[in-house]
Structure formats: structure tokens, C-alpha cells
Structure 1
Amino acid sequence: MLMNLRRMALPVILLLLISLSLSACSSNPVEKDDKQITEQESKKDEQGIQSISTEDLKEKLNDDSWVIVDTRINDAYNGWKLEGVKRGGHIKGAVDFSAKWLDVEVDNKESILSETINVKGIEPAKNIVLYDANGKDALKVAEYLKGKGYENLYTYDVKEWAEDESLPMEFYENYKLIVPASIVKDIIDGKKPETFEDATQIKIIEASWGEEDTSYANGHVPTSFHINTDWIEPPPAWMLADDATLTEFALNNGFTKDDTVIVTGEAQMAAYRVATVLRYIGVKDVRVLNGGLGAWISAGYEVETESHKPTPVTDFGAKIPANPDLIDTQEELKVSLAKTDEFTLVDNRTWEEHIGESSGYSYHDKKGRIPGSVFGYAGKTDANSLDYYRNIDNTMRNADEIIAMWKEYGIDTNKHLSFMCGSGWRAAEVLYYAQVMGLENTSLYSDGWIGWSNNPENPVETGEPTN
């Protein structure tokens, strides 16, 4: 009887052992795919977006199946230490797609954003890490991408990365040349923010064409005073004024060589044009509000309509121009154009202007280009546009993307680059961006196409370039 019970129990025991074995196997962790993050290594927020750890992110830096995206404002990507980060700039290799861009209201907005995503390689098939410093920007961009069918999305707090000095971050060498609205606000509030610690006399100006009632009176950054671009390039030619006129301009508006000046304005090109001329005459520290008045308003700050006037001075402190190499004269340009192995004249006009289909200006009918100039992009529509150099919110475009554009036409950043357009406005903005990147072997051919073509002795080319 006992033997029979033992025989009956044996199959039962075997079944129990098999059952326990299967149960144990089913509880083992799933083997990790190279392109996946396990639940132990990440967590999901309330919107179902996973976060990634610093250790895991380090491993993905050189993985082509991963794209790291900075979703903060453009200034943080450039190098400013904003929102409490210990180090400014962006994670090495990261591209930028600011959450702020989703709030911009412009024609063809969705088309512009879609093109931006494609250019930056933010593809649905890849794993996308979206990082910020406020816990909001990354989720905002994540929701936008989810709406476009993206699934492999992760978030990250860049403050953790910035805390560890051993982790690689990049910033533009001269990022301070273009200033975020929050820094301007700090200055107005009496603070001495990053890169302004040694500034003794800070002046904020608004630059635009015409008298105050044209733009300034409609609203400007508080405390700023108006600069009419006609004062530095008088009509009817609108070419750069002579030294005597520029000296009078400086003294009348209270500028000295030791000033720190921040140029603001609704029209970005006017701001960069005035900023470049201020540097040319010798003001030592001239910055521009990145994104212009639109960036100020987007940051939630109030504009004012009260008029402010500068206090004139009797001594600039140096002979004007104190920085003459920043702007090339026509004669200097002719000499430089012969040095093709060390000099490039970059034509920042539309393609239609470059090949001679359009002059670009209602007051100038001559068409064509300067022989030896190289097409360097500008805007997509007319002489008042600079789409190829700006983000959708009119801030400076990613430097890698700008340099990639230049390479298409053989523009070598190891050479001296002189930027030109029709009369110096578009090219002045491009010059500033080049110097933000650290390209200091650069200058502006201020007279541009208009100045060149007004001289009947100067040669002209039309049609598509042959080289």
C-alpha cells in the first residue's frame, strides 16, 4: 500500500516541480534590446513619456539611432547659464528644437516646423531624448511629436548633466554677443548678470528706420532710447556715413568707447546694422537682443511707450573709426578679391538677386553680382527676409546648420569671410552670427551690391555661376 502511494505521488511531485520552474522563468527580466530602455532604467511621467538616466544618456551620445534635442530657449543652447544650470551651452552633439517655437504665430507655421525637424534629423524611427531645465519644455515638445506619430520619446533634466564637469557640453565662443531677454530684464532691474560683471556704463537702445513715431513710439524695451538708422547711413543713397558724420552721431547720442550697449528693436536687421556700426566706430562692447522685441514680449515682459533721450557727450574717447577693419571699403574689397586662397566675399542676398533676376530694392534698378562673390543664402522671399539664418522665432539659427549651408557653395571658414548684401543690413546680422560662432576673421562689405553697381567702372556678372 505504501509503495502504491509513493508511485501515485511521484507524478504529482514532478508536475509541481515543472510548474515552479515555469513560474520562475516567467519572472526573469526581459532581455534588453540595444535600442530600448528597461523599466528598471527609466520611469514614465504622468503623460506616459519615459525619462532617461544620466548614465544611459552617456552611452547614447555616439549612437546614431538616438537623437538628443535641447528644448530650451535658443540662448541657453548658445551658452547662457539660464534656469539654474551650472554650465551654459548644450550637451555635445545635441540639436535644438525650442518649445518656444511652438507658440510662434506665423504663416506656414507647420510647414516651417516640419522642415526644421527634418533638417535636424529628428526622425520617427529614432529614439529621441528631449531635455530641458524646467520640467516643462521637454514635455511640451514631446506632446507635439507624439501628435505627429513619434513613439520613442524620452525626457531628461540637463541640470544633472551640467553639474558633472566630466560630461561634455558645448557653447559658442562669443555667445555673449547676442543676449536673452531675461538678461536684459536683469540689467534694467539693476543687476549685473553673467558676462556683464565688469560693465560700468550699460546703455539700451532701440534701432529702427525713421523717427520715433515709426516704431519706437508703439512700444519698446523699457529705458531704451531711439536710434534712427538714417543717422548712420543718410538718404538718399543710404550708404555708411563718413567719419565726421559718425563722430557727430556718437557724441549727440552719448556714446563713448568704454560703453556697453545692448541694441534692441522690432526690426532685427536694423538692430544688427546699428550694432555693427557702433563696433566699427569703436564702442568696445556691443550686444544685440537675440530675437528682438518679439523675444522680449514672448518672455512675458512689458513694453513701454515713454520716450527717453540720451545725454550728449563731448568726447568719444578715441578717433572714429577706432575699429576700421570691421568694415571693408570698396577699394579694400578689390584688393582682397584677388586673394582667392585666403579671402571669400559671401553674398547674403536671395538667389534671384545673386543671378541678376532682381535688384532686390525699389529704389535701385541695377541687377547682378560682384564677380568673385559666392552665394551664401539670406531669405526665401525678398530683401527684407533672412529665413536661412533664423529660427522661426527670429533667434539665431544653429551654427552647425549655417556652416553646412556655406559648405554647399564651397565657403571655407578658414579663410577671411567678408559678408555683403544690398546695402549692409542683412549681411550685418550674418556677420554677428559668424562672430558668435567664434569666426573672428570676418568683416562687412557695407556698401554691398548697391554701392558696387553704382560705380560704372566696376565689373558685374549675371546668370548662374559657372564654378
Structure 2
Amino acid sequence: MKKAKKHILLLAALILGMLTFAACAKEEPQQETNGPAKAISTEDLKGKLEDDSYVIVDTRINDAFNGWKLDGVSRGGHIEGAVDFSANWLKVEAKDKDKVLDEALKTKGISLDKNIVLYDANGKDALEVANYLSEKGYKNLYTYDVKEWAKDNSLPMVKYDNYQMIVPASAVKDIVDGKTPESFEAGKKVKIVEASWGEEDTSYAKGHVPTAFHINTDLIEPPPAWMLASDEQLTQFAKDYGFTKNDTVIVTSEAQMAAYRVALVLRYMGVEDVRVLNGGLGAWTSAGYDVETASNKPTPVSDFGAVIPANPDLVDTMEETKAGLATPDKFTLVDNRTWEEHIGKTSGYSYHDKMGRIPGAVYGYAGLGDSNSLQYYRNIDNTMRNADEIAAMWKEAGIDTNKHLSFHCGSGWRVAEILVYANTMGLDNVSIYSNGWIEWSNNPSNPIETGEPAK
């Protein structure tokens, strides 16, 4: 009898243990594995937004992070609080690639001691980044489909106020194919142009986005001074190249600065809707799209439709810059050249030998090495850098975005790109001193500073 009772108690304990195990399994379901990572549910991810031990990473192309609805998401933008580390960056062939990517991981807080949630919308990008991180020793990796997050309007997503100003290659491809991508007006013809310094044989003839016609940047900033062209010259340029104030234009280029320079001048002239292919021709070919080598020609017009410049506030003259510097409580002149240019160690240009900076200008970063570099504002694939990182960089430099910011470089190329990024971020109290350091330093009556600025 005692043995029977003992067996009954053992059986009961076994059953209770099995029930307890089943209940626990129900409460904490086994997570699906995805290569070196585990899948995470929406409910679990919601609870990690404020958890400092987690870093949420958007692995899609930069345009999706900015706000474009790509790969079937119902809402554009990124999960609030997410950082970006695009799978596309892993495909780029660039000098010091490993060093650049390591620095990006550090900047974004993607460290070995964190739980890393990698999300995408195509089922590929997150796994590619997970494999990359796994090879670097990362262990706590999770993947997530952001389409699920986007479907729930109560969950926080962020997109840049003017994300549409820089467009993905897929949107340009839709336009070439006769479709109407988001943020474009149905039925309205979009002009695609390729900008570069020099004639067609310099880069355009080697391959460009289909239907694009070529613009030599000398047309908008004539040599030998390479300063912004006169109003009369820009009016004739508009007529010769068929631009009117009502146009929608996308500017592309193998060299990003040339595209942004032409885009800035078109906006200054008064063209209604001007955008730039984010990442340039490299983004187009990286997406797998073919280039064409045929020479497309614009159709001239007799009238632009407005007096040029229709948007003069985008560009500051030297006199306006001086007036702004006299009111530092309202105005900041931001020097977007290399540090070596800022302190007067180099001029930055082969055709200009004067070195130094404009007194009162605040160093605002640009690139490393020469006047053709802009690494502080771009990702490794030449797309726009994360806006939060740009804002943090400015804050550290003492640049107050509540003031009017006027960006300057040597002759306007670098700051034309930075201005669009600022606009994309939602800043509208901004402009550029287009003729910049070269015009300022060529005037012997203007003061110049050299050496490291006082703290």
C-alpha cells in the first residue's frame, strides 16, 4: 500500500513537472533562427525600444531609412530610435572600407556587448548584415521584418521632413519606365539630367541614366573664375536647355557634388521641383540597372516663365555674408572645408593659392584630404548620412540650428550638397555663400585668419 502511494506521488510529480514545462514553453516560445540570428516578434521588439542593452538597426538602403516606401512597406521611414547600417555598404568597393565600416559601427553604438536587432523588408538585408557581424564576433543577433511594424500605425516611425528631395534609384527607374513613383505628380513629365565638369566625353558618354541629357557645370559657373554665373547667363542657360519654372527635374552624376551643384543652381533660378539621385550613378548601377551611352539632347524653350533668380534667398552674396557675420546672435557662417583649409595649412585648390578662413566662420566639417571629399556627410556608398549624426556633429562644433546657417566652402560645390541634406532634414532657415572662400580671399580688403581658432 505504501509502495502504491509512493508510485502515485511520483506520477503526480511527473505530470505536474510536464504541465509546468508546457506552460513555460507557451509563455516563452522558441525563437525561429535565421542563420546566426534569431527572429524577434513585434511584441518583443516594442519592449526593447527603451532598453539600453538593445540596438535597433535598419539594414535597408538609405532611401528607405529616410522615408521612401520601398519593398512593400505601408509606411516610409525607420523605427524611432533605430540607427542605420545598410547591407548595401557591404557591397561597396572603397579605400579603407574595413576601417570606415568599423568606425560606423562605433558611431552607431553597434558593439559586441549589445543585443543587436537587424531589420529589413526584403528578407535579405538583415541576414547579410547578421552574417557580417557574426564573422566579427557578434553573438546576440536578432532579425525582424519591418513591414509588420509599419502596418500598425500606433507604432512610432520617423521619416525626414523633405525625404523626397533625394530619390532612390528605383524611383528614377520607375520614371524611365513611364510609371509614377510616390511624391511625384501623375502625368507630369520629369526631366533627368546628368551633370559633370567638362564635355560629354568626360563621363556622360561612358554611360548614364537612360533619357538623361548632359549639363557641363561650366555653363552655370563659367571659367576661369568658376563663380556662379550672372542672371543673364543663367537665363540663357535655361532657354538653351529647355528649363522652365514649372519643371520637375532629377539630377544625376557619377560625381555627386556636380549633381548637387547643378540642382542648387536650378532651384536658385526658380525651377519648382528639383531632386537628386541619392548615391549618384553608383546607386543606379548597384541596383542592377543598365546605363545608356546615346547622346540625348534637350529641347530649347523661349521663356523660363519667371525672372531669374526666382529664389535668391538660397544664395548669399559677399555683402549679405558680411551683414550676417555682424549679427552672430542670429547668423552663423559654417565653413565646410577640410580642417587643413580652415586653419590655413592648404588652399584646397590647384588654381587658388590663398590660404586661411573667413573671420567668424565656424568649422562645420566636410571631408578628408582634399576639396573633392565629403566623408563627414556621406555614407560609404555616397548616400546621405544619418541626419541625427549630422545634427550631433554640428552641435559638438557649436553650430546652433536655431540660427540662420549659411554654408560655405571654396566655390560652392561641397555646400550645395550639404544644403540639400539640411533641407531634407527639415531645416529651411539655411543658405549658402556660393562663391565662398575663393571670392572672399581674392578681395584684398577682406580680413583673413589662419591657425587653429580659439576655443
Report TM bin, short chain: over 0.9
Q: Which residue of 2 aligns with 1:261?
A: 249
Does structure 1 conserve the Cα–Cα contact (< 8 Å) formed by 2:279 and 2:382?
yes
Q: Which residue of 1 aligns with 2:158?
A: 170
Specify which of 132, 147, 168 is matched with residue 135 of structure 2. 147
One-letter amino acid of the structure 1 residue matched with residue 372 of structure 2: N
Q: Which residue of 1 aligns with 2:422?
A: 434
Which structure 1 segments of 5+ residues have no match?
A: 1-8
Q: Which residue of 2 aligns with 1:28?
A: 20
Q: Distance in 1 between matches of 2:267 and 2:432?
A: 12
Q: Distance in 1 between matches of 2:30 and 2:292?
A: 47
Residue correspondence of structure 1 range 52-67 to structure 2 within 5 A: 52-67=40-55
**Post-superposition shift, 1:40?**
3.5
Q: Which residue of 2 aligns with 1:5?
A: none
Q: Distance in 1 between matches of 2:444 and 2:30?
A: 69
Residue correspondence of structure 1 range 317-328 to structure 2 within 5 A: 317-328=305-316
The count of residues paired between Structure 1 and Structure 2 equals: 455
Specify which of 329, 343, 350 is matched with residue 355 of structure 1. 343
Does structure 2 conserve the Cα–Cα contact (< 8 Å) formed by 1:263 and 1:275?
yes
TM (norm. structure 2) is 0.97
Does structure 2 conserve the Cα–Cα contact (< 8 Å) formed by 1:42 and 1:52?
no
Q: Distance in 2 between matches of 1:454 and 1:169?
A: 48
- 1:212 and 2:200 are equivalent in the alignment: yes
Does structure 2 conserve the Cα–Cα contact (< 8 Å) formed by 1:326 and 1:443?
yes
Q: Which residue of 2 aligns with 1:4?
A: none
Specify which of 263, 268, 274 is matched with residue 286 of structure 1. 274
Q: Distance in 2 between matches of 1:224 and 1:463?
A: 45
Q: Which residue of 2 aligns with 1:49?
A: 37
Query: CA 1:38 to 1:243, structure 2 compared with 1: closer, same or farther past 3 Å?
Result: farther
Does structure 2 conserve the Cα–Cα contact (< 8 Å) formed by 1:201 and 1:258?
no
Does structure 1 conserve the Cα–Cα contact (< 8 Å) formed by 2:79 and 2:157?
yes
Q: Which residue of 2 aligns with 1:412?
A: 400
Which of 1 and 2 has greater Rg?
A: 1
**Post-superposition shift, 1:151?**
1.1
Residue correspondence of structure 1 range 227-238 to structure 2 within 5 A: 227-238=215-226
Does structure 1 conserve the Cα–Cα contact (< 8 Å) formed by 2:245 and 2:305?
yes
One-letter amino acid of the structure 2 residue matched with residue 214 of structure 1: T
One-letter amino acid of the structure 2 residue matched with residue 336 of structure 1: G
Q: Which residue of 1 aligns with 2:88?
A: 100
Q: Distance in 2 between matches of 1:424 and 1:192?
A: 32
Q: CA RMSD in A?
A: 1.8
Q: Distance in 2 between matches of 1:27 and 1:149?
A: 38
Specify which of 9, 13, 22 is matched with residue 17 of structure 1. 9
Q: Distance in 2 between matches of 1:314 and 1:48?
A: 62
TM (norm. structure 1) is 0.94
One-letter amino acid of the structure 1 residue matched with residue 141 of structure 2: L
Specify which of 385, 388, 412 is matched with residue 373 of structure 2. 385
Which structure 2 segments of 5+ residues have no match?
A: none
> What are the superposed Cα offsets for residues 100-131 of structure 1, whole Å, 9 maximum, x if unpaired?
11101111111111110110001111111111
Q: Which residue of 1 aligns with 2:57?
A: 69
Q: Distance in 2 between matches of 1:438 and 1:30?
A: 52
Q: Secondary structure at the match of 2:301?
A: coil
**Post-superposition shift, 1:28?**
3.5
Q: Distance in 2 between matches of 1:31 and 1:397?
A: 47
Q: Distance in 2 between matches of 1:409 and 1:52?
A: 38
Report which stretch shifted further, 228-237 or 10-19. Answer: 10-19
Query: CA 1:392 to 1:446, structure 2 compared with 1: closer, same or farther past 3 Å?
Result: same
> What are the superposed Cα offsets for residues 340-378 of structure 1, whole Å, 9 maximum, x if unpaired?
111111111000000000100011110000001000100
One-letter amino acid of the structure 2 residue matched with residue 28 of structure 1: T
Q: Secondary structure at the match of 1:60?
A: coil
Q: Which residue of 2 aligns with 1:452?
A: 440
- 1:110 and 2:98 are equivalent in the alignment: yes
Q: Secondary structure at the match of 1:403?
A: helix
Query: CA 1:407 to 1:18, structure 2 compared with 1: closer, same or farther past 3 Å?
Result: same
Q: Distance in 2 between matches of 1:352 and 1:19?
A: 80
Does structure 2 conserve the Cα–Cα contact (< 8 Å) formed by 1:262 and 1:287?
yes
**Post-superposition shift, 1:193?**
1.0
Residue correspondence of structure 1 range 331-350 to structure 2 within 5 A: 331-350=319-338
Q: Distance in 2 between matches of 1:269 and 1:200?
A: 27
Specify which of 296, 301, 320 is matched with residue 313 of structure 1. 301
